[in-house]
A and B are shown apart, each in its own frame.
Chain A
Amino acid sequence: MIAKVSYHKGHAGLHRVTPMANVLLLVGFLAAVLVSPSILVKLGVFLLVIGLLVISGERVGSFLSKTRFVLLFGVVLFIAQAFSIREGNVLLSYGLVVTDSGLLAGAQMAFRFLVIFSSSVLFVLVTDPDRLAHSIEQIGIPYRYSFVLVLSLRFVPFFRKEYRAVRDAQQVRGINTSIRGFAGLLRSIRYTLFPVLVSGLTRVDSIAISMKGRCFGLYAKRTIAYKEHWQRADWIVLFLFCLLLATSVLARKYAWP
């Protein structure tokens, strides 16, 4: 199984940045690897992500061990591309053909995956989900919709508990949920999804009535308990975002290697 990564409180590096600045940085990383065809840019961005992990007080060793199975997928991507592309100089022809263009394309895709995944992990590690959910309202999205994320995050621990209870109940009753065929798969899904779903749906009305009772949705705007303020660290992140965008467009325009 893949170890889960999740947010934890910190005071260094990107932990001090507002959630929206972290979103901006994540978008910058994505733009850099999706727009730029340069392998050097991708390598540079990957090193930047690792650097930011260190600055934010995260341990690179722990990050690598938690995500090693996912990182292996990068190797699979590399191999898939290397064997799929036949154009370019042939380097190896032994049943399967490997060309220099194939290896280059494989490296491109592997780095693209690594950057997207590692920057997402960095974002998750340093961004408080609750603050993120509340920040969405501050960028102009109506609070009726931004509150869906807040509410959803509140439901997550409840459903995790319910899911665990359902699985425990299956074990206690000796229900075999192993998959040895299509019928087994269906049984497993039916015995797991339905109870969790039904336990949630029965609460919809009471939650809606409770919110209505508190006059949720009465006014077009609502007061905010905690407002995010941009500080120097956020401006540095904004500068990094612009730098990433400019680098990726220039790399594309002038065909950097």
Chain B
Amino acid sequence: MRDKSNAKRSPLDLRDLVLVALLAAVGGVLSAYIGYLGNLINRLFGVPFGAGQLIAGLHVLWLLLARILTRRFGSATLTGVTKGIIELLSGGTHGIVIVLISFVEGLLVDVGMGISKRLSLPLTMIVGAIATASNVLLFQAIYFSGVSMWFILFMVALSAISGAFFGGYMSWDIYRMLVGSRIVSSFRNHEIGRSSSSLKRCLLTLGVALALLVGGVYYYTTVYDPFAAPDKARIEGALLAPYTFDYTDWQDQMVTVTAELRGSSTYVPPREYEGVPFSIVLQQARPEQGAQSVRVIADDGYEASFDDLTLLLEDQKILLSLDKGRLRLIAAGYDGSYWVRRVTRVVVR
């Protein structure tokens, strides 16, 4: 019953679209029930929140079912976005964030399930685990940026287990039940089976994809700072008076030094640099007793680490200067790798 008119332009036919709408509606409506189950589990464990992640996989169940039943790339993403909007419009407790989370979960399901044409339980469980775990990482990026990484990893593990079982295993189980009862006999049938070599490829690919995803989320949420003030840097860490260094406030402290940049690939012959002595900048923040080292961090995550704070406090040749409107560390006498452009943070440890 594939409609021919727009079918060539669309990867999803009419029945697929109806199925997607239906699963999104079921997912949106039953999210209230899943929230209720989460509250019961929290009460069971005696914690205010967190244990609900044990059933987080149920949110991914609908996306996996959409992908398995339609066998079309994009069906899980479309289901996710629609489910998220339904939850938002139903007054869900996550607000607009749920649309983003459902979209990412759907996308991961589409990509993960697209690895193999053969439907297998291990693949479904792995994809369910990864898609479900992504919700913790997104919540961490939005609301819990300062929380311990170990706690986040624990929650990721919890939701991944839930995703593997309540997402992956249950969608597999429901699919088999639907096929067995001939409810979905008219849908495209899968070649169901397991292949050890394809499983290894799946695991490897998904492992790399997960590593890239985690790395990307970590970089863009905790390291990369595209909107950082150009002539300011946060001086923080083991300090009695952390503050924000503003280059314009230090005009009367300017000095000029002559320095030569010797990098592994760059060489700049000796020339004069003007800036604020780094030692004064650090002294202003009053390092705590026992503080030993200093990290100078740029907005793209590049950093130089100085191991001897005492030496830095005495060195008058290291400057924080302004280069093309951005702060730059001029580390005279040090290797080129210690010269840091676009400085946004200085952390004393």
Contacts and interface: CB of A to CB of B under 8 A. Distances in A.
A189 B37 contact: yes
Contacts of B246: 255
A5 B244 CA distance: 42
A249 interface: yes
B37 A155 contact: no
A176 interface: no
B6 A200 contact: no
A123 B303 CA distance: 42
Interface stretch (A39-47, A213-221, A228-236): A213-221
Contacts of B15: 204-205, 208
B3 interface: yes
B227 A252 contact: yes
Interface string B10-37: 1010110111111111101110110011
B30 A196 contact: yes
A87 B237 contact: yes
A209 interface: yes
B323 to A, nearest CB: 17
B105 interface: no
Interface in B231-273: 232, 236-237, 240-242, 244, 246
Given A119-B96, A124-B88, A252-B229, A208 B24 contact: no
B313 interface: no
A80 interface: yes
A112 B227 contact: no
Interface string A186-204: 0011001110111011111
A30 interface: yes
A247 to B, nearest CB: 12
B212 interface: no
Interface residues of B, number: 77
A77 B143 contact: yes
A179 B40 contact: yes
Contacts of A147: 17, 21
A163 B33 contact: yes
Contacts of B184: 201
Contacts of A254: 229, 232
Interface in B24-77: 24-26, 28-30, 32-33, 36-37, 40-41, 44, 48-49, 55, 58, 61, 65
B95 interface: yes
Interface stretch (B78-86, B108-116, B195-203): B78-86
Contacts of B91: 4-6, 121, 124
Given A6-B90, A84-B148, A216-B14, A89 B30 contact: no
Contacts of A53: none
B1 A202 contact: no
Contacts of B241: 89
A148 B143 CA distance: 31
Contacts of A84: 146-148
B93 A202 contact: no
B22 A155 contact: yes
A160 B14 CA distance: 24
A50 interface: no
A159 B30 CA distance: 9
Interface string B212-240: 00000000000000011110100011001
A132 B99 CA distance: 15
Contact of A194 (B41, B78, B174, B244): B174
Given A73-B93, A205-B186, 8 more contacts: A1-B36, A109-B144, A145-B17, A153-B25, A159-B26, A180-B44, A196-B30, A255-B244
Interface of B: 1, 3, 5-7, 9-10, 12, 14-15, 17-26, 28-30, 32-33, 36-37, 40-41, 44, 48-49, 55, 58, 61, 65, 78, 82, 85-86, 88-91, 93-97, 142-148, 166, 170, 174, 177-178, 181, 183-184, 186, 227-230, 232, 236-237, 240-242, 244, 246
28 contacts: A4-B90, A6-B89, A7-B89, A30-B96, A88-B242, A89-B242, A109-B144, A120-B95, A121-B95, A124-B89, A149-B85, A151-B17, A151-B18, A151-B22, A152-B25, A153-B86, A155-B26, A156-B25, A158-B25, A198-B181, A198-B183, A204-B18, A212-B1, A216-B14, A217-B5, A253-B230, A255-B232, A255-B244
Interface of A: 1-2, 4-7, 26, 30, 34-35, 70, 73, 76-77, 80-81, 84-85, 87-89, 101-102, 105, 109, 112-113, 116-117, 119-121, 123-124, 127, 129, 132, 142, 144-145, 147-149, 151-153, 155-156, 158-160, 163, 178-180, 185, 188-189, 192-194, 196-198, 200-205, 207-209, 211-212, 216-220, 249, 252-255
Q: Which 7 A-B pairs have the closest CB atoms?
A: A120-B95, A155-B25, A252-B227, A151-B21, A5-B91, A208-B15, A255-B229
